[in-house]
Amino acid sequence: MKFILAAAALAASSLAMAHNCPNEMKAIDAKLSSNPTLSAADMSKVKALRADGEKFHKAGKHDDSMKALGDAKKLLGI
- pLDDT, tens only, 8-48: 454 444 444 456 899 999 999 999 999 999 999 999 999 99
Single out the residue of 35, 41, 46 nearest to residue 70, CA to CA: 46
Structural domain of residue 50, as residue ranges?
2-76
What angle separates helix 2-33 from helix 62-76, to the nearest 10 degrees?
A: 40
Say how many domains are in the chain: 1
pTM of the model as a whole: 0.75
